[in-house]
Amino acid sequence: MQITGHLRKMIGKLDAPVQYQLPLDDERIDMNALIGQHIQLNYTGEIHCTACGRKTNKSFNQGYCYPCFKKLAQCDSCIVKPELCHYANGTCREPEWGEQHCLQDHFVYLANSSGIKVGITRGTQIPTRWIDQGASQAIPIFRVKNRLLSGRLEMILKQHVSDRTDWRKMLRGVPEELDLAHNRDALFNACEKEIDELIAENDADAVTALHSETPTSIEFPVNTYPKKVSSLSFDKMPEIEGQLKGIKGQYLILDSGVLNIRKFGGYRVQLQVDG
């Protein structure tokens, strides 16, 4: 098999285990079927912006050309730091995009990828967000009316829980199972004053604590986890090959190292599979 196209982040469908497809332009490759086989990914030297299609010498923010990186709302700093959402100030780069993506219901959640962490996502991105992060467990703990509120809640909670994933630790194996419901209740108690103050500042239905949600468990298609995690990059080596040992988050786990597919959005590559 030999297919050439531009990379996009892998599509993960919740199943036991997660079912992955790799988009290469219009093709969708069943990656689970390739686990155990020798694969080769050759970077052709071309990058095209995932937003406008313009050819670019360098990719910004996982797939954008520089002009799109500077003008698109989805590349603004408030995407990484939602507590800085400035739509209400009238300064959103793309107000219509903001209405569709930021002024929608969001969830604050706890996840277990390399240990417990807090995060946020739109309701339409559950469980995709958890799969992309390589979380083995996740549970929604708040439902809020917009992205800004989710960011403000995350700021309160991350005084007690990290908001980051140790990607190397995540790729070394399955984390110890956690009682996420217990951790949720402990956080509610520890942050009760700040949470109540935030609720009081907004409409009655703007922030809803979720006391009865149950965790989702996620199994990833991995035959063998690496003892030592070595990162692979098309910017350093245009030909990446090895036996595919598994897939977790947005990473291909090869016997030669791990490759973050999402990082190289817009890169034109040729996938070759022996046999």
State whether 212 and 77 are in the same domain. yes
State whether 98 and 53 are in the same domain. no
- Over residues 44-57, the pLDDT tens digits come to 999 999 999 999 99
Q: Please, what's the b/e burial string for 149-171 (b: 16 or more CB within 10 A of its CB; e: otherwise)?
A: bbbbbbbbbeeebeeebebeebb
Pairing, β 257-260 against β 231-232: parallel
CA dihedral sign, ordered 190, 192, 193, 197? positive
Out of 193, 217, 241, a domain closes at: 217
Within 10 A of 109 (CB to CB), how many other CB atoms are there? 28
State the average pLDDT over residues 173-197.
97
The yes-or-no verdict on residue 233 having pLDDT over 90 is yes
User: Which candidate, 74, 77, 157, places its Cα nearest to that of 120?
Assistant: 157
> What's the chain's average pLDDT?
96
Whole-number Å distance between alpha carbons of 131 and 121: 12
State whether 240 and 263 are in the same domain. yes
Out of 176, 194, 217, a domain closes at: 217
Q: What is the pLDDT of residue 204?
A: 83
The yes-or-no verdict on residue 275 having pLDDT over 70 is no
**Cα first-last separation, the chain:** 7
How many angstroms separate the Cα of 94 from the Cα of each of 67, 97, 100, 254?
Answer: 14, 5, 10, 40
Q: What is the pLDDT of residue 266?
A: 98
Please report the DSSP string for 227-268 in residue order. SS--EE-TTT-SEEEEEEEEEETTEEEETTEEEETGGGTTEE
Q: What is the pLDDT of residue 145?
A: 96
pLDDT band at 7 (very low <50, low <70, confident <90, very high): very high
State whether 10 and 136 are in the same domain. no
Element (H, E) at 156: helix 147-157
Q: What is the pLDDT of residue 30?
A: 98
Whether the link from the prior residue into 17 is cis, omega within 30° of 0, is yes
State the average pLDDT over residues 176-201.
96
Q: What is the pLDDT of residue 66?
A: 97
Whole-number Å distance between alpha carbons of 74 and 8: 16
- Over residues 88-143, the pLDDT tens digits come to 999 999 999 999 999 999 999 999 999 999 999 999 999 999 999 999 999 999 99
State whether 200 and 73 are in the same domain. yes
Q: What is the pLDDT of residue 274?
A: 82
- Over residues 122-137, the pLDDT tens digits come to 999 999 999 999 999 9
The yes-or-no verdict on residue 31 having pLDDT over 80 is yes
State the average pLDDT over residues 254-275.
95
State whether 238 and 185 are in the same domain. no
State whether 148 and 190 are in the same domain. yes
Q: What is the pLDDT of residue 190?
A: 97
Out of 195, 217, 239, a domain closes at: 217
162 with 130: CB under 8 angstroms? no
The yes-or-no verdict on residue 69 having pLDDT over 80 is yes
- Give the domain range for residue 48: 2-62+221-273
